Structures are given as C-alpha cells and as structure tokens.
Amino acid sequence: MQQGFFRASDMVNHDHHAIISFGETKLLNHLASARAPGVGKYGGVEMNRNSARLLAQNPQILKRLAKYMAQQCFRNTVLEDFHAGITPYSEAGDYSDVVVKTPAGTIPWSKLSRLNDQEMKTLMIDVVNRTYLLLQTLFDEEVGSYLIQTLSQQDLMPNWNDPQ
C-alpha cells in the first residue's frame, strides 16, 4: 500500500491545507492560496529560514530527507505495481538457472529486460510528478517547515540504510 507525504497522525491542521485521497495514497494538497505553492509575494521561492538552516547545518536531516524523498518519489510509485508480480525461484540463487520462454525463443534471466518502454515511461512520469509534489510541499513555508522539523526529531524511514 502506498503512503502519502505525511501519515495522518503526523499532520497538523492548517486552514489552507487539506489531505485529499488519491487512490489509496494520502497527498497533501495546497488548496486556498492566492499564490502558487511555494512562490512568495515577490515571485521567489519561500522556505522558512530555520528549516533552510537546519538542512544546511545538519547532515543527519539531509540524510533523512534523502531517504524520505526516495520513498515518496520513487519507491511508492507504479514501481510497486511492477514489483508486485511473481518472482521466479532460482535453485542456483543467482538466477543463472532461470530462463523465460517466449514464442521467439528462450531468454536467460540476466539478459531479460524487466521493464518495457511503456512501463519505463509510466514510471518516470510518476516519479517526476511525485518529485514535483514533494518539492512543492518542501518549499511551502508552513508544511515544509513542519516536514523539516519532523525530520530533525525522527527518521521517517528508520529501517532504510542512510545515504553515503
């Protein structure tokens, strides 16, 4: 099951923000603002100075943000649907004994393309859209600050390896 950018239990209630349902995914949507999300009154991008300082001065928060971004923008995409199929059994353990039989012949597992062109295109569109949404969230003064503050206090992906 995919998750949105914030668990419901982590959300603060802002009058101009709402959680909307997008399939099973909960996404933060910036609803009532005279300006585009993340764009200041002079056309520049806003980010709370404290949040920017926390990011610049604390590599641990950057690592947590990187893991969160990878989960939200790549892991929780249509990749889940592609990954949901049956994984072949390999007695050798390295799949060197696995082949795919097609009408055109047999393909060794190591030579098999796992995604066709349309699946790759679908995946990349999903990744770009989710990255855009996360950037909008991050640069929203209130919600982005809340996300950075949350990451300064806890790792939302504690079972993932830290980036190197």
- Tens digit of each residue's pLDDT, the chain (164 residues): 334 444 333 333 333 332 322 222 333 333 223 234 444 433 344 566 777 787 888 899 999 999 999 999 999 889 888 888 888 999 999 999 999 999 999 999 999 988 889 999 999 999 999 999 999 988 888 888 888 889 999 999 999 999 99
With CA atoms as reference, report the closest residue to 46 among 128, 129, 143, 150.
Answer: 143
Whether the full predicted model's pTM is greater than 0.85, yes or no, is: no
Continuous segment of H or E residues that includes residue 28 = strand 25-30
Whole-number Å distance between alpha carbons of 37 and 135: 10
Quickly count: other Cβ atoms within 10 Å of residue 78's Cβ.
15
Contact assessment for residue 81 and residue 118, using Cβ atoms and an 8 Å cutoff: no
With CA atoms as reference, report the closest residue to 75 among 38, 25, 39.
Answer: 25
Whole-number Å distance between alpha carbons of 133 and 131: 5
pLDDT for the residue numbered 54: 79
Continuous segment of H or E residues that includes residue 102 = strand 99-102
pLDDT for the residue numbered 47: 63
pLDDT for the residue numbered 155: 94
